[in-house]
Amino acid sequence: MLYTRKGDAGTTKVFNCDQRISKSSKISEALGALDELNSFIGWCKTHNSLRPILSVPTGMKNPTAEPLATILSDVQEALFIIQAQVAGAPKKIQKRRLTSIEKTIDAIEKVLCPITGFTIVGGTELSAMLDVARTIARRTERQLVVVHEEGREKISANTLAYANRLSSLLFALARFINHTAGVSEATPSYR
């Protein structure tokens, strides 16, 4: 059944609570942001321009590469773990997931020119979509921090670090997509 009518009055239930909570609560907001981010990354993953992009560098010492769709699927899996943790389940991001995205960011940065300032979003449609995902990831991270700081749910250090690093990964991927497509980065003129 796709509906239960239990939330009609503006409440919902999470894993660790026998009582219903308001859909406007900080936990509900964080869960909603995680869901939105996961959905948007799914859209990025299925984007038509993804097909010509065979792989993204993911290793520094032993150069390896992963399909972009695989990297984004791994992110989606991690977001489900974070959702479970926020909802009170005994789940948390393991250090290996954090290390994995850090290695990918480092490997991508090795291929690209160093950043000298802010860049204007765009270039290719997929790159712009990944930048939108980056901004959703930043908002989601802020909401996770609120839940953690207010003591509503304990968010592990690795989970908070992963949420912080995720926006960097999405930014690196957006830059890499433009680089692969031969699109130069534009910087604001501030005129």
Residue 189 located in a structural domain: no
The tokens describing 103, both together, are 């290695």
Residue 188 located in a structural domain: no
Does the structure show a pLDDT above 70 at 36?
A: yes
Rounded-to-integer distance, Cα 95 and Cα 97, Å? 5
Residue 4 located in a structural domain: no
Does the structure show a pLDDT above 60 at 50?
A: no
- What CATH number is associated with residue 63? 1.20.1200.10
Residue with tokens 């993911």: 58
- Position with higher pLDDT, 23 vs 3: 3
**pLDDT tens digits, 69-124:** 889 999 999 999 999 999 888 999 999 999 999 999 999 999 888 888 888 888 88
Of 49, 103, 48, the residue nearest 71 (C-alpha): 103
Sequence-ordered list of residues with C-beta below 8 angstroms from that of 84, at least 6 positions apart, any chain? 15, 91
Q: Which residues pair with 57 in a beta bridge?
A: 65
Rounded-to-integer distance, Cα 135 and Cα 131, Å? 6
Residue 60 located in a structural domain: yes
Average pLDDT taken over every residue of the chain = 84
Q: How many domains in the chain?
A: 1
Domain that includes residue 150, residue range: 17-180
Rounded-to-integer distance, Cα 87 and Cα 81, Å? 10
Would you place residue 13 in the very low, low, confident or very high pLDDT band (cuts 50, 70, 90)?
A: low
The tokens describing 69, both together, are 């769709």
Does the structure show a pLDDT above 80 at 6?
A: no
Residue 82 located in a structural domain: yes
Residue 96 located in a structural domain: yes
Sequence-ordered list of residues with C-beta below 8 angstroms from that of 77, at least 6 positions apart, any chain? none
Residue 10 located in a structural domain: no
Residue with tokens 């939330």: 7
Would you place residue 46 in the very low, low, confident or very high pLDDT band (cuts 50, 70, 90)?
A: confident
**pLDDT tens digits, 151-170:** 877 899 999 999 999 999 99
Residue 5 located in a structural domain: no
